[in-house]
Amino acid sequence: MPFTCSTHTYPEPFYLLLEFVSGGSLQSRLRTSRTQQTYGNLHGGSKSLSSRDLTKFAWDVAKGMSFLSSKKILHRDLATRNVLVSADRTCKVSDFGLSREGDEYERTTKTRLPVRWMAPESLFHRKYTTKSDVWAFGVLLWEIVTLGATPYPGMSKREVMDGVQQGYRMDKPIHCDGKLYTLMLNCWDADPARRPEFRQIERTMDTLMEDEQDYINLASLDENTYTSLQTVTDEKY
């Protein structure tokens, strides 16, 4: 069927033009920034990323999600694997395969789910709002701090679900500043209403970017703690 736009009719085939983002996924960028040999060898910190780079990655994602939430778009699969990095190290939220439009969405079909990034109300009641994306942003921030480690290291997906239901939250990485960890905990509040809005998160990240402080001390990243690096397939339920 031909496609009609305004006064012109265009025959098949149709083409969708997308921006080429040369840096690949943020997850890959974080993991390949680790030091040589194996992913477990983190001595000396990142070879190519600074604390400010990592803080800016989170800032970029916060700005992108603030825009999406203002348009009432629920991403539902926010994670570093679904963020792309451009040549100038700007992060761009991508992969809208699970996205929905509106204030709230209730899942009715069975599908593979990103359990480690899901809020309690999504895991156990199938409900999604922008506050569910806020929870996922907190997990994404933890991923950034740990250079792409898989969330809830050492735990199975069932253990993650049971832990989240019982109030378990990931501990503060030793090399992470308290301000970043407080933001994570705020995103992981059991009550969606008490989680910050993305515009608040964006303002928080604005303030952190204005400071000259290093919020992630890569030199003290423990090489034995964050070695869990699962594939995209393994990360989903």
For residue 9, tell me if it sits in a domain.
no
The H or E element spanning position 138 is helix 130-145
For residue 196, tell me if it sits in a domain.
yes
What share of the chain in percent tops pLDDT 90? 64
More confident residue, 15 or 115: 115
**What's the confidence (pLDDT) of residue 37?**
38
How many structural domains is the chain composed of? 1
Domain that holds residue 130: 26-34+45-97+113-235
For residue 107, tell me if it sits in a domain.
no
Q: What is the pLDDT of residues 32-50, one digit of tens each?
A: 888 643 334 444 555 578 9
CA distances to 34, 51, 102, 112 from 76, rounded to whole Å, are 28, 27, 12, 12
For residue 203, tell me if it sits in a domain.
yes
Q: Checking phi first, is residue 14 left (phi over 0); if not, alpha (psi -120 to 50) or beta?
A: beta
Query: In the predicted model, what is the mean pLDDT of residues 171-198?
Result: 97
pLDDT at 20 over 90: no
For residue 127, tell me if it sits in a domain.
yes
For residue 59, tell me if it sits in a domain.
yes
Q: How confident is the model at residue 223 (pLDDT cuts 50, 70, 90)?
A: low
AA identity, residue 124:
F
Q: What is the pLDDT of residues 124-169, one digit of tens each?
A: 999 999 999 999 999 999 999 999 999 999 999 999 999 999 999 9
CA distances to 43, 95, 98, 109, 113 from 105, rounded to whole Å, are 44, 18, 11, 12, 15
Q: What is the pLDDT of residues 55-92, one digit of tens each?
A: 999 999 999 999 999 999 999 999 999 999 999 899 99
For residue 77, tell me if it sits in a domain.
yes
In this structure, what CATH number is given to the domain that contains residue 165? Answer: 1.10.510.10
Give the pTM. 0.86
For residue 200, tell me if it sits in a domain.
yes
Q: What positions carry a catalytic annotation?
A: 77
- In residues, how long is the chain? 237
How would you class 86 by CB atoms within 10 Å of its CB: exposed for 0-12, middle for 13-18, buried for 19 or more?
middle
Which residues, 6 or more positions from 161, have their beta carbon under 8 angstroms from its beta carbon?
Answer: 115, 123
